[in-house]
A and B are shown apart, each in its own frame.
Chain A
Amino acid sequence: MLLLVDYWPHPVANPPTASKAHPRLPSLCVWLCLALIGGMFATCTANAAQSASSLFSSLRGLVYQVRVIDTASGDKTTIGSAFRVAADGLLATNFHVVSSLVHEPAKYRLEIVGDDDFKAVATLVVVDVLHDLAIIRDKQHGARHFTLLSAALAQGERVFSMGNPQDLGMTIVEGNYNGPLKSSRFERLLFSGSLNPGMSGGPAFNADGDVIGVNVAAGGEQLSFLVPVRDLQNLLGKASIAAATDDFKLALGQDLRHESDAFYLARTSETWRSEPFGDLMLPRDISPAMKCWGHNVDKDDAAYEGFHQHCRSEEYIYLQDDFHTGNFSYDYEWMLTSKLNPLQFYTAVERRFQHPSPDNTDDEDHVTNYRCTTDFVAVDDTPWKSSICVRRYKDYPDLHDATLVMVSLKDNERAALIKMAVTGISHKRALDLFEKLMRSVTWDH
């Protein structure tokens, strides 16, 4: 339980496994990672070790390190991994590995480096921001490539992953396949093995060397995530018909918009189940792709008592290193007091009457200022002080961040707060969602 509570504030996809060139590379981390991989090999059976070594020697020529080179300094700014997926020079990697090239094509170029110091210039072919995939191409291609597995895998099956962690050289990692994440908005496979920064975009394959997914993120010790191979197959289909372009942003914005439109249309058109929360009936389980956590405040020295329910999607879409989207969260809070006088209680409530922060960017290059509308709104015949703020993405048409906070008090000693934050949504969908939430709020008479 402690582990879970500890874990919840960190979204699953929190540390993308692309390694940013950083002047202060934490040497302790490198040491720990090495120790982790070494320890894992020690626990493996002799049989498995043999199989890993033969797989490694046969596949090492198909996996590369991807370098995003800053053209001004001529040195790498981001590293990840990539692997051959077709005979015509196509390689798969993660979108987050090449995102700086997508956003500022004039400032960066792409390079792949093989295990035998083979080096080649690569170009971007097509990207899938939603599933964090990108297809790149180099000209000096060979005929050999990975085969993509079309059959399903059983949970627990042995899975191997390759990549170049921390720029230390090509490695192979063994773990177990644990199936797709239940109820996730952007499909991910759970890989119980250890991925490290720099392995992003590398292949994960079964004992036959057939690709089952693409390395994408690490969530904790022996807890890693893969993009399902199906998404890679879909993107490969697009790659064959993609026109040569330098501008991936437009299509990227459209993908984001279409996905979020469909996702939130589903949320607003389905029926929400209401359950008691304090003296209220509130909708619960608004999205299956959310994790909910609760806690209460009832210490002896606390001036008021109360409890919370926080629900948040623990996955998001990586856009740039200081900008992500696709967050969805809501928060119910119930407060009551027997110690505070009305004025003091209202001060306590006022401190909680704050817009939830989606925390996805604080850079003015990406978003406008929030525009807020605040008023008293009659919800179930009770006044709720309600405030909605919306800000627009500067680079992507009709995508917004929107937040809602509303509060109502009864008898100067009970208060309910409802908050919701959505990022990467059209303002129409966001406000439809908020309206539906407001209409779902009733007092439990």
Chain B
Amino acid sequence: MGSLVVQITGKNQRAQDYARSIGPTLKIGRSFANDLVLTDPYVAPEQIRCEKHHDRWLLSILDRTNPVLLNGTPVLDDTVAVRSGDRLMVGRTELAIFSDEHSVDATRKLAARWLTPERIGPWRACAVLLGVALFDVVAEFLQSSVDLEWKDYLYGGLFSAAVIVAWAGAWAIAGRVLRHHSQFFAQLLMVSLVSLGCSVVFPIVDYLGFWTSSVTITRAAYYVVGVAALTVLVKWNLVLATNVRNTGIAAFFVSASVIGLGFAASQYTADEFEPEPDYAGVVKPPFAHLSSDRSIEAFMADTRRDAARL
């Protein structure tokens, strides 16, 4: 074990300060004569002295006003040997002890280099948000302006933009807390892009309902696409707001559980009485009509079989 590195561990395992041994000793305490100065009133002015003995580092506890915990257990002896990676609790301060030979993880690649605050900036993010909201308004208007005023579509667009801003804002607050970086505009950009993706994909699911004429398949497709969309969204939220390693897997589990709960709730109410029929009521233009038509005989045979099962 070479020289000793003692880190003050802050919130979320973030090192606030550290000291490296230069000679065979390293002193820790509240007084300014120490190598690592702790600002914790529950720590003695001279609290711990680390000494190197035959390639091992020994800790001497110099003050017993408060107990010193090594990996969670109180140190009762006057001296104790430590290994790289040990955790020490002194007063209200947590310390991490490392040898300078302690191996560190390989460098993590940034998920997307273009997704940095310098590159995105408020204008680009807002422009994308505006574009997405406009796309929604225009797409909705072109598909269904049978009896609604254009104002209604505008309000709809404003509402979806507000939801996007609120979602990005919530994750920005999470990022501020967890990573000391809000990354608000990066969040806004990603949420807007995922929203755009949803606006494109969900109508395709409607088409699937039209092709198959099956309520079950349509509903299953909605669940699958819902999990996929939420996974992508939460993955980017996690990448930007946390240091979580496997963001994709974490996001998938979160999305699958949220949508799975929704599915469970719908199954729970599935047996309830409905005075209205539940059928595949999607009507789309003929270019979306891919499957071949049944003959009247075949369709009526299906219907007779279904009715007989009532």
Contacts and interface: CB of A to CB of B under 8 A. Distances in A.
Interface of A: 303-304, 340-344, 346-351, 353-355, 357, 361-362, 364, 368-379, 383, 385-392, 400, 402-403, 407, 409, 412, 427-428, 430-431, 434-435, 438-439
- Closest A-B pairs by Cβ, 3 of them: A364-B273, A362-B275, A370-B277
A407 to B, nearest CB: 6
A346 B289 contact: no
Interface in B131-181: 142-147
A350 B275 contact: no
Contacts of B214: 374
Given A344-B145, A377-B295, A378-B293, A371 B309 contact: yes
A425 B96 CA distance: 80
Nearest to A362: B275
Contact of A353 (B146, B278, B281, B286): B281
Given A353-B283, A409-B286, A344 B144 contact: yes
A340 B285 CA distance: 13
A427 B308 contact: yes
A369 B270 CA distance: 10
B294 interface: yes
Contacts of A371: 306-307, 309-310
Interface of B: 142-147, 213-215, 273-286, 289, 291-296, 299-300, 302-304, 306-310
A376 B310 contact: no
A427 B307 contact: yes
A317 B37 CA distance: 93
A42 B38 CA distance: 109
A435 B284 CA distance: 24
A362 B272 CA distance: 13
A428 B308 CA distance: 9
Given A368-B310, A372-B278, A346 B293 contact: no
Nearest to A302: B147
Contacts of A369: 273-274, 278
A interface SS class: mixed
Given A349-B283, A390-B306, A427-B307, A344 B146 contact: yes
A308 B275 CA distance: 25
A374 B293 contact: no
Of the listed residues B147, B274, B280, B310, the one surrounded by the most CB atoms of chain A closer than 10 A to its CB is: B310
Contact of A376 (B213, B274, B304, B306): B213
A238 B299 CA distance: 44
Nearest to B206: A350
B310 A350 contact: no
B302 A342 contact: no
B277 A341 contact: no
Nearest to B300: A435
Contacts of B146: 303-304, 340, 344, 347-348, 351
B291 A343 contact: no
14 contacts: A342-B285, A343-B142, A350-B281, A350-B282, A355-B276, A362-B275, A370-B276, A370-B279, A372-B306, A387-B280, A427-B310, A431-B303, A434-B300, A434-B303
A343 B287 CA distance: 11
Contacts of B284: 346
B303 A385 contact: no
Nearest to B143: A343
A388 B279 CA distance: 9
Contact of A375 (B273, B283, B299): B299
B277 to A, nearest CB: 4
